Amino acid sequence: MINGTQATDQPILEVKDLRTYFQTRWGTVKAVDGVSFDLHRGETLGLVGESGSGKSVTMLSLMQLIPIPPGRIVSGEILLDGENLLELTEDQMSKVRGSQIALIIQDPMTSLNPVFSIGNQVMEAIKIHQDIPRKSVWEKALDVLRKVNIPAAETRMRDYPHQMSGGMRQRVVGAISISCQPSVLIADEPTTSLDVTIQAQYLKLLKELQRESNLGLIFITHDFGIVAKMCDKVAVMYAGKIVEQGTVRDIFNHPSHPYTEALLASVPKLEEDVDRLYSIEGQPPALHDLPPGCPFAPRCPYVMEQCREEYPPVFQVDEAHSAACWRLA
């Protein structure tokens, strides 16, 4: 572990063989198909993948926000502090959701209710999850807004979302999600709609919040830049499966799955001139029509006969580094 000092031995979140399928008119779509990872307190995991790779469905499964039907969590375990979330009733889960495991979604424009004031929305979460006197709810809300560095928080409490900029709104969303001191915070592309300098402010804020309360943080992103800046561990997803997992340096220095390697080579670099980017031919596969073997085989430069026939098992590259590719056999 990179942040050995902050991480404790017992993982705060453990996901084992999670499978979430959707019934569609084209057949069963295996959006998440056997995903396993763990997360310690104070640690940041980056879940990287393209659209349709299953990273957002993984996140929704963790929060149990999958629309049922058509979706269904077929199997697996989600252990939050040793408790399997999949065995909880909806009532029990709604107590966990927001208080122990919280979520920041991508778009701050749509995740706030336009007809309630900022203060109202921050207080809502506190009222639901914390048993504190009414009078101090206001104080508490003010407190979290200050924590996410919202200037003039007292006056901002009475403002409505449309009166704030995108960066400020995303801060409010952040304030709501940390208001009940969760132990795990999932951020689903939290900065894609923000400008570069505002993104830098926000990432710094998330790091500070993490340090303060020893949060386990999951970053869902397609941007390796965010991974390089923020994460300790990385899991790369492709077509519903984790194809490679390791520490951030493992992934950047010795990518072992051809997909990871290709992705890293296809990103232009800020620090140096690149003559020509590697471009991955073809497109991500349709999840309802996956090839029998490795789903990356049709786009893989190292493809072998075996790859087209059988899905590769996970091979251990290093202590904390593993990849599912036949070349490692």
- Binding stretches for other proteins (CB under 8 A): 50-51, 165, 167, 195-201, 204, 222-229, 231, 248-249, 252, 262-263, 266-271, 273-281, 283-284, 299
What phi, psi does 323 have (nearest 5°)?
-150, 150
Terminal CA-CA length for the chain: 25
Residue closer to other proteins by CB (options 9, 272) is: 272
CB closer to other proteins, 143 vs 223: 223
Beta carbon of residue 299, minimum distance to other proteins (angstroms, whole number): 8
The 3-state DSSP class for residue 160 equals coil
* Of 52, 20, 23, 47, residue with least CA distance to 33: 20
Q: Rounded distance, CA 208 to CA 120, Å?
A: 25
Nearer to other proteins, 76 or 246 (CB): 246
Residue 267 beta carbon to other proteins: minimum distance, rounded to whole angstroms: 7
Report, in Å, the least distance between residue 151 CB and other proteins: 9
Closer by beta carbon to other proteins, 94 or else 149: 149
**CA-wise closest residue to 242 among 323, 329, 328:** 323
Closest approach of other proteins to the CB of residue 110, in Å: 18
User: Quick one: 17 or 195, whose CB is closer to other proteins?
Assistant: 195
E strands, 168-286, are: 184-188, 216-221, 233-238, 241-247
Q: How many C-beta atoms surround the C-beta of residue 82 within 10 A?
A: 9
Residue 117 or 201: the one with the smaller Cβ distance to other proteins is 201
Strands in the chain per DSSP E: 13-24, 27-39, 44-48, 71-80, 83-84, 101-104, 184-188, 216-221, 233-238, 241-247, 315-318, 321-323
Smallest separation (angstroms) from other proteins to the CB of 323: 17
Q: Which is nearer to other proteins, 70 or 225 (CB)?
A: 225
Q: What angle do CA 44, 176, 212 make, to 5 degrees?
A: 45
Least distance to other proteins from the beta carbon of 253, Å? 8
Cα distances (angstroms) measured from residue 154 to each of 137, 139, 151, 175: 13, 10, 9, 14
- Smallest gap, in angstroms, from Cβ of residue 185 to other proteins? 20
What values do phi and psi take at 182, rounded to 5? -70, 160
Determine the 3-state secondary structure of 78 from DSSP.
Answer: strand
User: In the bound complex, what is the minimum distance in angstroms from residue 234's beta carbon to other proteins?
Assistant: 10
Q: In the complex with other proteins, which residue's Cβ is closer, 231 or 317?
A: 231
